[in-house]
Chains A and B, each alone.
Chain A
Amino acid sequence: MKWGFAAADPKQPKYLLCNADEGEPGTCKDRQIMEGDPHELIEGMVIAGYAFGAEYGYIYLRAEYPKVVSILETAIAEAEARGYLGANILSSDFSFTLRVHRGAGAYICGEETALIESLEGKRGQSRIKPPFPVNVGVFGLPTVVNNVETLANVPHIMLKGGAWFAGVGSEKCPGTRIISLSGHVHKPGYYELPMGITFREVIYEHGGGIRGGRKLKAFIPGGASAACLVPEHLEVKMDYDAVAAAGSMLGSSALMVMDDTTCMVKVAARLMRFFVHESCGKCTPCREGTEWLFRLLQRIEAGEGKLSDIDLLRELCDHISGKTFCPLGEGALGPVRGTLIHFEDEYRAHIEQKCCPLKERNVRQ
């Protein structure tokens, strides 16, 4: 859809940006693609560029992947040497120049307008939409921002056809997803699986179940911004609609698994510290709200909370929700809301016992 809008805009030149600022905690799939098969991504970008008439492309790579810079640059040089990239690709009149741009450690740059600001040499802070990047993007020109996994899928769809792609996965969410499986499982790793597979299959069949004979307590299905789910959700299918119906989101399909020694208040506090650090500071609800949520969570975790703090947490969430400039503020609420829905008792126990009720704890803050 983005490609169509950008193609329709008469302004030239057009830009294709690959969002390789994979910063959602728990997510590590794009690194696997770029390290393992950088040419898959490059080919996808050339095809996308041809499709909507982009002349220039940048891969905005997160700073934490220094080795990937040289892998991508080598691959780009190889593609240029063979005439697959650069001026007059395969002797046609289509030219596409591709460059790697290394970010500098800011999670918010994974949001497309913040990424554009950052590429222009500014602080990575989101822009208001509209205008949308497809019309007024980087350097004021029509710009499409796509994720690594999306672009890497393109060559395969071109080769085998849309029907083939739609034949994999579920009806509403075709294709595969690369699941980054981490936490207390026997076999953490990267699993490319059809959309619509259940959490049980991923955690128990592919991931080998919970380590050390422990029991599953909770899992986060889609990175730090996604609310946690509990064992009763194991039969939920991993596609966007089903996970949303269960009260969370599939997001980046980063599946973090926690066993019964995990303190859920500490999990929420730890994730909130991340959002405090990564809030860009542009809008007040997010900048101040994440800080207040973090302080409250820390206080409860330390056994110094009051019972009224639980309502205060909920109230703060409502003050942030829908009132922030970009999705970061909304994402920060996931860990609080999810743990409050499924583990309110654990919050209460911290407050009533004035300490963490779990004897064996392994979540560190």
Chain B
Amino acid sequence: MKEILKMAPAGFAEETLKKIDEIMARYPTRRAAALPVLYLAQREFGCVDDRALGAASRVLGISKVEVYGLATYYSMFETKPFGRNVIHLCDNLACSLLGAESLQHHLERKLEIRMGETTQDGRFTLKNAECLGACAQAPVMLVNDDVYEGLTEARIDEILAKYE
């Protein structure tokens, strides 16, 4: 652990570094911890920006460019700031068959943003998802870590009210 702390003079908070140390113990190589480290970096820095790339690059022992390559390859990472709550609305086939497009229009009207954008107050970011694996309960969306199934416009209104 001490070695990692020495190698990362700036960047992650002390507490995060401890967590990273725990995670790295689960793998035979440091690089294998790349995805969990990027999740932590995104949480700590708000998105995978330049500071996050630098911090992750130091603990993983790979170049910033390689970390950037990972951050832009995987859908779950954002290189630009996003809202306090992220809505992933599924619009793959099973959800589309049951009206995902009209739900998208409803969300866009209600939040006054288009797909991919963030509300002015930073409360919500709206994204589409390629299948959330709940096709038998379609249409579905994920808000942060919570899955909501069997959506209707009214139910979406109720759900959004729960998020600050």
Taking Cβ atoms with an 8 Å cutoff, the residues of A that contact B are: 22-28, 30-31, 62-67, 99, 101-107, 118-124, 139, 180-184, 188-190, 220, 224, 254, 256, 258, 262, 267, 270-271, 274, 277-278, 280, 362-365
Apart from A67-B145, A363-B97, 6 more pairs, CB < 8 Å: A25-B94, A63-B74, A63-B75, A107-B130, A121-B62, A274-B131
Q: A25-B131, A64-B132, A182-B138 are in contact. Are A104 and B75 (CB under 8 A)?
A: yes
A26 engages B34 (CB within 8 Å): no
Tell me if B26 counts as interface (CB < 8 A to partner A). Answer: yes
Q: Give 13 pairs: A residue, B residue, CB < 8 Å, sorted on A.
A: A28-B134, A31-B133, A66-B145, A105-B75, A107-B130, A121-B60, A124-B73, A139-B28, A182-B97, A183-B97, A362-B99, A363-B96, A364-B104
Complex: how many Å from CA A27 to CA B60? 34
Q: Which residues in chain B, 81-127, are within 8 Å of chain A measured between CB atoms? A: 88, 91-94, 96-102, 104
Tell me if B4 counts as interface (CB < 8 A to partner A). Answer: no
Q: Which of B38, B94, B100, B104 has the most chain A CB atoms inside 10 A of its CB? A: B94
Chain B contacts of A28 at CB under 8 A? Answer: 133-136
A362 engages B138 (CB within 8 Å): no
Residue of A nearest to B103 (CB): A364
A102 engages B39 (CB within 8 Å): yes
Chain A contacts of B134 at CB under 8 A? Answer: 28, 31
| Choice from B28, B98, B133 contacting A65 with Cβ under 8 Å | B133
Q: B38: shortest Cβ distance to chain A, in Å?
A: 7
Q: A63-B76, A102-B36 are in contact. Are A364 and B100 (CB under 8 A)?
A: yes
Q: A28-B136, A102-B39, A106-B73 are in contact. Are A277 and B130 (CB under 8 A)?
A: yes
Chain A contacts of B96 at CB under 8 A? Answer: 270, 363-365
Residue of A nearest to B36 (CB): A102
Q: A66-B145, A102-B39, A121-B32 are in contact. Are A182 and B130 (CB under 8 A)?
A: no
A180 engages B35 (CB within 8 Å): no
B35 engages A118 (CB within 8 Å): yes
Complex: how many Å from CA A23 to CA B130? 8
Tell me if B137 counts as interface (CB < 8 A to partner A). Answer: yes
Chain B contacts of A278 at CB under 8 A? Answer: 130
Chain B contacts of A101 at CB under 8 A? Answer: 35-36
A120 engages B93 (CB within 8 Å): no
Chain A contacts of B129 at CB under 8 A? Answer: 64
Complex: how many Å from CA A121 to CA B23? 13
Q: B118: shortest Cβ distance to chain A, in Å?
A: 18
Q: A188-B135, A364-B96 are in contact. Are A139 and B35 (CB under 8 A)?
A: no
Chain B contacts of A30 at CB under 8 A? Answer: 133
Complex: how many Å from CA A244 to CA B142? 35
Complex: how many Å from CA A190 to CA B133? 12
Complex: how many Å from CA A278 to CA B73? 10
Tell me if B69 counts as interface (CB < 8 A to partner A). Answer: yes
A25 engages B92 (CB within 8 Å): yes
Tell me if B70 counts as interface (CB < 8 A to partner A). Answer: yes
Tell me if B77 counts as interface (CB < 8 A to partner A). Answer: yes
Q: A235: shortest Cβ distance to chain B, in Å?
A: 24
Tell me if B47 counts as interface (CB < 8 A to partner A). Answer: no
Tell me if B31 counts as interface (CB < 8 A to partner A). Answer: yes
Complex: how many Å from CA A19 to CA B147? 21
Q: Which of B29, B73, B135 has the most chain A CB atoms inside 10 A of its CB? A: B135
A121 engages B92 (CB within 8 Å): no
Complex: how many Å from CA A25 to CA B62? 34
Q: A23: shortest Cβ distance to chain B, in Å?
A: 6
Residue of A nearest to B130 (CB): A274
| Choice from A104, A190, A270 contacting B77 with Cβ under 8 Å | A104
Complex: how many Å from CA A27 to CA B104? 22
Chain B contacts of A25 at CB under 8 A? Answer: 92-94, 130-131, 135
Complex: how many Å from CA A364 to CA B102? 8
Complex: how many Å from CA A330 to CA B129? 22
